[in-house]
Every structure is written in structure tokens, then in C-alpha cells.
Chain A
């Protein structure tokens, strides 16, 4: 089965700003090689966040593959293969290696947030549906759930009432669709006012 995942991090969150500018924190989440890359690329101040979201994406996929331990970011090695930067885009792509599994990622940097998607299959990065939104207040999860069901319904041309979003006891989200056995893989993330989700676009059956 192909797995997908996503992660989002708010750049305006003060706790994030404090953590990601703390060398001790960075030494805990980055491998030695990644730490040196951050040190050598002072013109890319968002690099630690890029590494973090990729590793989180890889961890989410690890959990879907049955990994039950907690997230230890240094165990996930990020290899950036491409960085495209223009007036409109700032995108990193590459792979994350953990437990002999390679996961492909794409990370986009925006003024106020950084968003990553990942998959065990490279072409899924382009094929998956991915959305980033904002909402404030305590109903963020409800808004996100409503949004993803609307999106699934629209994409797969089924009634919204045929979809349900559930979670395993480990907190991994999955979609249930009436009369369907093969369902898309889904992923959620939220940080601060931001929420984001992704789902694979394989055919339902």
C-alpha cells in the first residue's frame, strides 16, 4: 500500500520561533550533517523548519507502517535533492531515510508557514490532493474535518454522508467510505491557526 502524510508548522508561533532558534533544540532534532548544513546556509533561515516538517511526515508514515515508538527526529535523515526559489515559489524536495525506508517529500515555504507532504511513492507527491487553511478558535478540528469531507466528496464524486473520518488508538487518521474497501490514505496536521490535510487519489473500489 502507498502511504502519504503531511505536516504544517506556523512560522509566527512564538514557541516555534523560540525552539527553532535554540541550538540545543536543533542539536536534538538534526543529525550532525543536517546541523552543519543549517550552520553553513545562513541565507536559508527556514531550513530547520524544513527538516522538522519532513521528519514529521516521515514519522507519520512510519506509524502507518506499524512503528509504535515515539518520534526521535535524529533517527530520520533528510536528504535535500532540489531547492527551487523564485518570486512565487520556495520549494525543497528530497528524501527522508528511516529504518531502511525512503520517503519522498516536497516542502513549500510561505511567509507565515511551512508545509510538507510526503509519500512512499514519488509520483504520489504530485498526485495527492493537499490543502492548507486557517481557522481560529476551539473548533479547528471540526472545521478541518468538515473541509476534508467536502474535498473528498468533491474529488471522488460521492455524497458527503458516505464519508467518515476515524482515528486509530495511536491517533492515525483514516477514511471510511460506504461500500468501499480500497480507500484513499489521508493525513492531517495543524499548528497555531493553520490546518492542512492531504489524501491520495487512487481509485476507490
Chain B
């Protein structure tokens, strides 16, 4: 699922105020704590992911999404890959 990484970066980047934050972020950044994305934007991110990848993210799945890799895992599971 490496091909989806740049797509996720592009989605998250829309909600990052200071783009330089990627330089300081760890390899698997926490979306709120490391990327400093406003918590209100997490729902926007989830909607963008649903639209981009044709999946549905329910509440149980949303509770699992804290980091970049969590997003990859969720998409992989939902796409059956």
C-alpha cells in the first residue's frame, strides 16, 4: 500500500498550517500532536479519505485513527488489501 502514502500526505497537507512541520515530524506522526492539525479538521480528513478511497469510516474505525500509519492500516483493511 506504499502507493497510497503520497495520497494521504496530500490530504493531510491541506490541513497543515506550517508545511515545514513535515521536516520535524517522526516517521509515523501523530496527526494532532506531531502534525499540529486542529482536531476539528480530523473529521474533514476522514471525509476526504472516504471520498478518495471509496470507503466508509465508522465510529469504531475513527477511534483507531491517531497516526499516519493508522490511516494506512484502515484503508488497507477497508480495501481488503
Contact = CB atoms under 8 A, between A and B. Distances in A.
A19 interface: yes
A9 interface: yes
A184 interface: no
A9 B47 contact: no
Interface in B5-47: 15, 32-33, 38-44, 46-47
B63 interface: yes
Contacts of A25: 43-44, 47
B66 A70 contact: yes
B59 A69 contact: no
Main secondary structure of the interface of A (DSSP, over half): helix
B53 to A, nearest CB: 16
A52 B40 contact: yes
A171 B38 contact: no
A25 B47 CA distance: 8
A188 to B, nearest CB: 13
Interface stretch (A39-47, A72-80, A81-89, A121-129): A72-80
A19 B44 contact: yes
Main secondary structure of the interface of B (DSSP, over half): helix
Interface string A162-196: 00000000110000000000000000000100000
Contacts of B44: 15, 19, 25
B72 interface: no
Given A171-B32, A171-B33, A73 B43 contact: yes
Contacts of A28: 43, 46-47
A182 to B, nearest CB: 28
Interface residues of A, number: 21
A138 to B, nearest CB: 8
Given A15-B41, A70-B42, A191-B38, A24 B47 contact: yes
Interface string A57-75: 0000000000001111111
B78 interface: no
A29 interface: yes
A70 B63 contact: yes
25 contacts: A15-B38, A15-B40, A15-B41, A15-B44, A19-B40, A19-B43, A24-B47, A25-B43, A25-B44, A25-B47, A28-B43, A29-B43, A69-B63, A69-B64, A70-B62, A70-B64, A70-B65, A70-B66, A70-B70, A71-B42, A71-B62, A72-B62, A72-B63, A171-B33, A191-B38
